[in-house]
Chains A and B, each alone.
Chain A
Amino acid sequence: MSDNKKWYSLDLGLNNKKESSGSCGCGKSEGSCSSTPKEQVEEELSPEEFYEAAINASIGEERHRDGFEQVFDVKMDRRSAFKKLTASLLIGAGAVTTSCSVTTGSDTKEKAQIDWEEQFKGNYKLMTDEEKQGTINRLMRSYELRTDKKINMTAENAAEDVLFGYAFNISKCQGYMNCVSACVEENNQDRNSEMQYIRIHEMKDGEGFKFDKADDNYYHEVPAEGHFYMGTQCFHCDNPPCVEVCPVQATWKEEDGLVVIDYDWCVGCRYCMAACPYDGRRFNWSKPEVPEPEVNKNQHYLGNRMRKKGVMEKCTFCVQRTRKGKNPACVEACPTGARIFGNLLDPDSTIRWVLENKKVFRLKEDLGTEPKFWYFMD
């Protein structure tokens, strides 16, 4: 591995068993040979030493630059750093204790190793492609170790000359909500709390947009007489306030315009939720649960991979699909063709035709958030 790796990996000797057994006279890879490196590791890491090592590993600038430093580029004294990292360290400590134990099985050790490396990896947006590949490999392996099922996760970067945009035809939407269901299935949203990224608002004809009077939880035959329907979700603002307020830079705008979240970097402060003028963000109050057979196993690191408790999530324009050239799940599911998606930079794309030939408008345009989501009518 290169020297400028941005996370710290603790070398527990798990990966160099061959070498160690070679250097040891008895040839055993685990257990009783007194000179095996394994036992040395155990001896080396007395609790105090371990904490010291872990702190050094994660914040000591003389070693490797870690995530905090990458993001803030400030030096922290050890005291405050220690306070901030206690929670992380406890997890890390658990992982290492398991890794060092001679009695636990190799699966458990591998899990622990993965947990450790995941715990101390850097911010995704600063990772090299190799590091991205590394983390998705670990996440795929971890899922396999835990559930015996395989998932397919990618870390595809934004394609060049692509800027995603979305248009919504208010006169076409009939309120069927196929988009909502498709989104939940595609993006592995929590079934218990019925989390949904898309809202369909039922509004009265002739009154304009009155969100306070709109019903977004109707259940009757649609379209209802005298009403029209409009959808909202994250608008992937070009000038996103949610990104500005995030204290740890866990959310950012990608080159192709997608506003994404690194779920492992989010500390769950919900500043972004408060800053979003469009109700675009959702928070996990509990651990999201999806029945195993329903899990969508085609995942992207920044998209529909499994989330945890206490992190933010939102619509990503189905990054796992759109970076492969597909349409988002909602666009595909809409039976009336009310949803149009495409590349804003391509003058031949249908979204461009809509922007240039229909009367389009955006919500709360005066805020200067520059949503990349336009509404239009027939």
Chain B
Amino acid sequence: MKNRTLIYFVVVLLGVSLFSCKGEEEYHSISDKIEGESKPYHGALTSEQLLADTELIEITEGEHTFLIPERKGQIKSFACIECHSKPVSQMMGKDAPKAHWDIKVNHANSDAMNCATCHNGEDMNQLNTLTGKNIDFNLSYKLCSQCHSSQFEDWKGGAHGKKVAGWAPPRASNTCVNCHNPHSPSFEKRWPVQFNTKTAIERNEGLGH
């Protein structure tokens, strides 16, 4: 008899504790809810269609695997060796035409950086690391990450930079050079695109009373 009541109580308690975690309003806070309902999204929504027109390549950096836009196809005069048929040192000086007259390097100071910090003077189709290893133009973020390591961490996780299309998987993120001009990377001062005349009037004249 006693046993039965005990079992009954245990069952009821179990039932209550099980069911009380279900239903609508059980989470104390939004973070509880996020934790409680977390699972990798395999739903119907995808960004695939939105990305269909963009040439993308997949990269894996640490624990992050995602897509980035292909770059070489976007550079007008790639491949560079079509003009740079000899190493830069041999083509420099003399009366050779200056093709890159419009590029001004406004990135760190000239003691720290010059063209050769990033470009491989022997093989212009490649970039090179500070220690002289080749980097493909498509993976130029590897070059930037040598100095900008905290930005690189944020970019890998998704806190720095923009996604290419939607929020839904697969993830496609712009690389450094999609937003920053590598030769002059900081954003420029400019006028806001919007001016709210109505607010200005209200502020200057009051609300008409």
A residues whose Cβ falls under 8 Å from a Cβ of B:
159-163, 167, 169, 172, 174-178, 180-181, 193-194, 196, 200, 216-223, 238, 322-327, 331, 334-337, 340-355, 357-358, 370, 372, 376, 378
Query: Of all chain A residues, which has the CB nearest B155?
Result: A337
Query: Of all chain B residues, which has the CB nearest A365?
Result: B29
Question: Is B160 interfacial (CB 8 A cutoff)?
Answer: yes
A175 to B189, alpha carbons, bound, how many Å? 10
Question: Is B171 interfacial (CB 8 A cutoff)?
Answer: yes
Mark out the residues of chain B between 169 and 209 whose CB falls within 8 Å of any chain A CB in the assembled complex: 169, 171, 173-174, 179, 187, 189-200, 203
B195→A325 contact, CB < 8 A:
no
B40→A346 contact, CB < 8 A:
yes
Question: Is B16 interfacial (CB 8 A cutoff)?
Answer: no
Which of B4-12, B31-39, B91-99, B103-111 is the interface stretch?
A: B31-39
State whether A346 and B41 are in contact (beta carbons under 8 Å apart), knowing that A169-B159, A326-B165, A327-B166 are contacts in the complex: yes
State whether A354 and B157 are in contact (beta carbons under 8 Å apart), knowing that A221-B189, A325-B45 are contacts in the complex: yes
Query: Of all chain A residues, which has the CB nearest B170?
Result: A348
A281 to B137, alpha carbons, bound, how many Å? 47
A9 to B192, alpha carbons, bound, how many Å? 50
Question: Is B15 interfacial (CB 8 A cutoff)?
Answer: no
- Which residue in A180, A324, A346, A358 is a CB contact (below 8 Å) of B194? A180
State whether A219 and B192 are in contact (beta carbons under 8 Å apart), knowing that A325-B168, A327-B167 are contacts in the complex: yes
- B191 contact set on A, CB distance < 8 A: 219-222
A335 to B161, alpha carbons, bound, how many Å? 9
- Excluding A217-B200, A331-B163, 15 further A-B contacts by CB distance (< 8 Å) are A160-B43, A177-B194, A194-B199, A218-B192, A219-B200, A238-B30, A337-B174, A340-B158, A343-B167, A344-B30, A344-B34, A346-B39, A347-B38, A351-B167, A353-B157
State whether A196 and B196 are in contact (beta carbons under 8 Å apart), knowing that A161-B37, A350-B163 are contacts in the complex: yes
Question: Is B50 interfacial (CB 8 A cutoff)?
Answer: yes
A269 to B57, alpha carbons, bound, how many Å? 53
- B52 contact set on A, CB distance < 8 A: none
Query: Of all chain A residues, which has the CB nearest B202?
Result: A217
Query: Of all chain B residues, which has the CB nearest A222?
Result: B192
B160→A378 contact, CB < 8 A:
yes
A sample of 20 cross-chain residue pairs with beta-carbon separation below 8 angstroms, ordered by A number, consists of A159-B44, A161-B41, A163-B33, A176-B193, A177-B193, A218-B192, A222-B191, A238-B30, A325-B47, A326-B50, A327-B163, A327-B166, A337-B160, A337-B179, A345-B41, A353-B157, A353-B158, A355-B34, A357-B157, A376-B159
Mark out the residues of chain B between 33 and 83 whose CB falls within 8 Å of any chain A CB in the assembled complex: 33-34, 37-41, 43-47, 50
Chain B nearest CB, measured from A127 CB (Å)? 20
- B167 contact set on A, CB distance < 8 A: 322, 325-327, 341-343, 349, 351
Question: Is B162 interfacial (CB 8 A cutoff)?
Answer: yes
Query: Of all chain B residues, which has the CB nearest A356?
Result: B157
User: Which among A325, A342, A370 has the greatest number of chain B C-beta atoms within 10 A?
Assistant: A325
Question: Is B150 interfacial (CB 8 A cutoff)?
Answer: yes
B38→A353 contact, CB < 8 A:
no
- B40 contact set on A, CB distance < 8 A: 346-348
A193→B193 contact, CB < 8 A:
no
A216 to B163, alpha carbons, bound, how many Å? 27
A336→B39 contact, CB < 8 A:
no
- Which residue in A162, A327, A343 is a CB contact (below 8 Å) of B165? A327
A162→B41 contact, CB < 8 A:
yes
A201 to B97, alpha carbons, bound, how many Å? 49
- B203 contact set on A, CB distance < 8 A: 217
A175 to B200, alpha carbons, bound, how many Å? 17
B residues whose Cβ falls under 8 Å from a Cβ of A:
29-30, 33-34, 37-41, 43-47, 50, 150-151, 154, 157-163, 165-169, 171, 173-174, 179, 187, 189-200, 203
Query: Of all chain B residues, which has the CB nearest A336?
Result: B187
- A344 contact set on B, CB distance < 8 A: 30, 34
Chain A nearest CB, measured from B13 CB (Å)? 29
A348 to B40, alpha carbons, bound, how many Å? 6
A194 to B194, alpha carbons, bound, how many Å? 10
A175 to B47, alpha carbons, bound, how many Å? 29
A343 to B45, alpha carbons, bound, how many Å? 11
- B194 contact set on A, CB distance < 8 A: 177, 180-181, 196
- A177 contact set on B, CB distance < 8 A: 192-194
Query: Of all chain A residues, which has the CB nearest B178?
Result: A337
A326 to B46, alpha carbons, bound, how many Å? 9
Query: Of all chain B residues, which has the CB nearest A176?
Result: B192
- B173 contact set on A, CB distance < 8 A: 350
Chain B nearest CB, measured from A63 CB (Å)? 32
A159 to B166, alpha carbons, bound, how many Å? 15
A206 to B41, alpha carbons, bound, how many Å? 40
State whether A335 and B45 are in contact (beta carbons under 8 Å apart), knowing that A326-B50, A327-B163, A357-B157 are contacts in the complex: no
State whether A176 and B160 are in contact (beta carbons under 8 Å apart), knowing that A163-B34, A347-B38, A378-B154 are contacts in the complex: no
Chain A nearest CB, measured from B69 CB (Å)? 14
- A348 contact set on B, CB distance < 8 A: 40-41, 169, 171
State whether A222 and B189 are in contact (beta carbons under 8 Å apart), knowing that A162-B41, A370-B29 are contacts in the complex: yes
